[in-house]
Amino acid sequence: VLVAISLIFVLLEKSITARRYRVAITVLITLLLIIVAIAHGSELADTAISILNKRSDSTAGRMYLYDESIRLVFDESPVFGLGIKYTSLLTNDAPLGSHSTWVGFLYKTGILGFLLYLSVFVLVIIKLAKVSTLTKPVKRYFVLCAILFMAYLAIEDLDGVAWACITWFSIVAVLISPA
């Protein structure tokens, strides 16, 4: 407590340098965090553990949905897909093809729709790589972002209307822009 009070007086001094000000603030915040951790340490630890345990079966459930969705589409209609989502046999509440945009497109539209959707992303990446007004580092950055976005779609379902609109108009803007 005395250290904190001393630091507050140091901070209120008019002739303090910027470096000393940052050090004093850092020490003050660290002391505050230590006091909170000591006073509520077990509660904070219990809360953190409960948050981490809530999602423990999430990955296994997603993997089962991916496997079941892909297996079902290739068994029943590999070219055109199955359209509207059925409910998973295991979970009874998770629609097949959910939690992955790529698996969802394969499930709903089959190989044909999946390849068309994939080709749009490939065209965007090619277009980004050819834009002449951008420097090489900027091109690499945009291409990397597009590839990372494609990877993100493997684990997240971009099924909402708003996200579909954002994706569509972003892709159109890139494809019709001059360059």
Among candidate residues 99, 111, 106, the one with its CA nearest the CA of residue 63: 99
Among candidate residues 152, 155, 70, 71, the one with its CA nearest the CA of residue 114: 70
The length of the chain, given as a count of residues: 179
What is the mean predicted confidence (pLDDT) over 108-130?
A: 85
The helices-and-strands tally (H runs, E runs) of the chain is 6, 0
Query: What pTM, to 2 d.p., does this model score?
Result: 0.59
DSSP 88: P
The per-residue pLDDT for range 71-93, each reduced to its tens digit, is: 999 999 999 998 876 776 666 67
Percent of the chain at pLDDT above 70? 77
Whole-Å CA distances, 27 to 2, 7, 10, 38, 39: 13, 8, 12, 16, 18
Query: Which residue would you say has higher pLDDT here, 48 or 138?
Result: 138
Whole-Å CA distances, 42 to 38, 45, 46, 89, 136: 9, 5, 6, 40, 51
